């Protein structure tokens, strides 16, 4: 509740918001002054009002990069107001959204023609919107186009191009470079000769060592013999 006294115009304004049914009753307003107060009484009747027929509008979708969103709004009546979207079939209706917005995407359309409507409801009743007719013009991974119409009014046509994100895997190929056959044979021959020469040198070294030791032993034996004589 707010109070505003406009002394220039001689008006006293009382504003009451968020009223409920239990606020119904008598209220009095007056001016306190010495002697007899000037006041008057009034009665306030608070009642809940049913929702109005929701109005449909279109806007870019915030949930999907290439889609439009159909939203329905009822004039602000008695709160709270619940919204829901339904798709109409020949046999039954199926709920497709629990909010006042419906994302229209080509990827979600299973048929060429679809029909949707929105409902708004509060404690006093429920109202349904006009039918939204959607006709798919073209649907693929690259091009998406459709037309949404409310009954026979001017159609709202939407189209876009979708570029699917493909994950490219780079394959690293390990290449082993091999020597030519002639080079390999030469290398083998060189290795064999090298090992043969090494073996010969080892044999020669061992032979020289053994010959030296044998010669030394013979010399020592001759020396002993000469001493005895």
Distance CA 124, CA 78 (A): 8
Residue ranges in the chain assigned as alpha helix (H):
181-228
Model confidence over 104-115: pLDDT tens digits? 988 888 889 999
Task: Look at residue 2 in the predicted model and tell me its pLDDT.
Answer: 79
Query: Domains in the chain, start-ordered, CATH in brackets?
Result: 2-44 (no CATH), 55-161 (2.60.40)
Model pTM score: 0.54
Task: Give the Cα separation of 120 and 125 in Å (integer).
Answer: 9
Tens digits of residue pLDDT in 92-101:
899 999 999 9
Q: Alpha-carbon distance 138 to 199, whole Å?
A: 85
162's CB contacts (< 8 A; 6+ apart) are 65, 66, 141, 142, 143, 144
- Give 23's DSSP letter: G
The model's pLDDT over 196-213, given as tens digits with 9 standing for 90+, comes to 888 888 888 888 888 887
CA-wise closest residue to 108 among 133, 144, 132:
144
| pLDDT computed for residue 88 by the predictor | 92
CB 57 within 8 A of CB 73: yes
* CB contact set of 84 (below 8 Å; sequence gap of 6+): 95, 97, 98, 99, 118, 119
pLDDT digits (tens, 9 = 90+) for 143-157: 888 888 887 666 677
* Cβ-contact 87, 94 below 8 angstroms: yes
Number of Cβ atoms within 10 Å of the Cβ of 150: 19
């Amino acid at each position: 509740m707010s109070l505003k006294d406009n002394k220039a115009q001689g008006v006293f304004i009382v504003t009451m918001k968020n009223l409920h049914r239990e606020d119904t009753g008598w209220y009095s307003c007056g001016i306190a002054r010495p002697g007899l107060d000037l006041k008057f009484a009034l009665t306030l009747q608070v009642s809940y009002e049913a929702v109005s027929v929701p109005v449909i509008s279109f806007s870019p979708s915030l949930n999907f990069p290439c889609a439009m969103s159909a939203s329905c709004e009822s004039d602000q009546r008695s709160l709270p107001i619940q919204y829901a979207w339904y798709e109409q079939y020949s046999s039954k209706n199926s709920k497709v959204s629990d909010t006042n917005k419906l994302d229209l995407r080509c990827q979600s359309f299973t048929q060429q023609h679809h029909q949707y409507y929105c409902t708004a409801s509060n404690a006093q009743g429920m109202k349904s919107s006009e039918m939204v007719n959607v006709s798919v013009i073209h649907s693929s991974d690259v091009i998406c186009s459709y037309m949404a119409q409310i009954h026979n009014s001017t159609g709202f046509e939407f189209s876009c191009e979708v570029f699917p994100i493909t994950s490219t895997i780079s394959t690293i190929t390990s290449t082993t470079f091999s020597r030519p056959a002639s080079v390999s044979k030469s290398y083998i021959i060189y290795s064999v000769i090298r090992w043969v020469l090494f073996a010969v040198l080892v044999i020669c070294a061992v032979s020289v060592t053994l010959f030296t030791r044998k010669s030394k032993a013979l010399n020592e034996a001759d020396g002993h013999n000469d001493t005895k004589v």
